[in-house]
Amino acid sequence: MEIAIIGLPQCGKTTIFNAATRGAAEVVAYANKPNIGVAKVPDGRLDVLEGMFKPKRTVYAEVTYLDIPAAPEGLGKTQGISGEYLNFLQRADAILIVARAFEDPSVPHVAESIDAFRDIDNMLYELTFADLEILERRLKRVDDSFKGARGTERDALTKEQATLERIKAELESGVHVRDQTVTEDEKRLLSGFQLLTSKPLIVVVNAGEDQLDQIADMETRLATEVEGSNIKTAALCGKVEMELAQMGQDAEEEADFRATMGVTGESGLNRMISLSYAALNLISFLTVGEDECRAWPITKGMAAQQAAGKIHTDLERGFIRGEVMTYDDLCSCRTLAEVRKRGLLRQEGKTYTVQDGDIMNILFNV
């Protein structure tokens, strides 16, 4: 699952990408090749389990980010998203928009003034505009296919045309495809077009290091003006986060550094990564042991047998049952033996819907 990072030129995409992936992609003006990297999904439960089991390794879930250089023709000026750039976005599972709030006269801005919320609106419009173009192209193809079509083929085309016209009209009135009501049939039809406004969206405001005290206000404004069903938002300072990531110090030092910078609570970066994971509709089940404590990403609603297949195909094929306890029960009992004693270890079958934070041991036979 990949999340494409987009935004106006020089808004801090690569900086935030580096912070999230703890990478060192070059932050250079108008970079022109995409960077791919993975970010560990922060999970406080794994940190606690690590302390309990002292495993040889602890493995966090990951999300993959794609840092795409700004389109050569420039975004945010309604010149359209097209070509290779559009292909990148269509292939992505979610889109992350970065909008610049930091003030820095040495970094040029296409609009020559800084207004993150204006830029967010423009980016959202760019996505809408790209979808309208995709829909128009398809409608034209449908129109051409009418010549010579008859019977059931003609009926199918008529139906497709009506659907596309309706979606287009709603999009024109400002409703993203993800917020439109579509039937399962229509969903299937639309999945072929990879419309950008049907994808989950994360919107991040990149604040300056001198705006740390404004981050909370920015988040409040994001929550009221931008957030929606399947649009998640966060504000953070990309530059500070990248410097912290590249220093690579331990958690305590990092907390101290944050405190001296006046940043308290969960870091915006961690929230951005967690929100990205949630936007992809992913949750984690956990496995524990002396070898390894690990978070396994699964799609929300997945059944136990299928989830077991994430660990190994043999576990899915030969699935007998899962022994499941909740993370909270393990925490309050402290040991596996105590969980058993109190009758909190459940036996679950193939169709059990795995929950976020379930600690699961799979019994199988191949």
Instruction: Please give the residue ranges that form the binding site for Mg ion (CB under 5 A).
Output: 13-14, 31
Contact between 270 and ligand GTP per CB under 6 A: no
Strand order in the sheet with 319-326: 57-59, 292-299, 282-287, 358-364, 319-326, 346-348
268 binds ligand GTP (CB under 6 A): no
Output 108-112 pairs: Cβ under 8 A, ≥24 positions apart: 108/10, 109/8, 109/10, 110/8, 110/9, 110/74, 110/76, 110/77, 111/8, 111/76
Helix ranges (DSSP H) in 248-364: 251-261, 268-279, 304-311, 313-317, 327-333, 336-341
What gap in Å lies between CA 20 and CA 98, rounded to an integer? 13
Least Cβ distance, residue 25 to ligand GTP (angstroms) = 9
Among the listed residues 3, 4, 6, 11, the single contact to ligand GTP using CB under 6 A? 11
Which residue stretch of 28-36, 185-193, 273-281, 287-295 sits at the interface with ligand GTP (rule: CB under 6 A)? 28-36
23-32 contacts: CB < 8 A, separation 24 or more? 24/246, 25/67, 27/242, 30/69, 30/70, 31/69, 32/69
**Minimum distance between the CB of residue 32 and ligand GTP, rounded to whole angstroms?**
8
Cβ nearer to ligand GTP, comparing 26 with 252? 26
Rounded to whole angstroms, how far apart are CA atoms 105 and 90? 34
Single-letter amino acid, residue 321: R
List the one residue from 40, 239, 271, 294 that touches ligand GTP (CB under 6 A).
Answer: 239
15 binds ligand GTP (CB under 6 A): yes
Please report, as residue ranges, which positions from 140 to 179 form the binding site for ligand GTP (by CB under 6 A). Answer: none
55 makes contact with ligand GTP (CB under 6 A)? no
For Mg ion, give the closer residue by CB, 5 or 275.
5
Q: What part of residues 177-216 is at the interface with ligand GTP (CB under 6 A)?
A: 206, 208-209
Residue 76 binding ligand GTP, by CB under 6 A: no
Q: Which is nearer to ligand GTP, 69 or 309 (CB)?
A: 69
Which residues lie near ligand GTP (CB under 6 A)?
Answer: 7, 9-15, 27, 29-31, 69-70, 102, 104, 107, 206, 208-209, 237-239
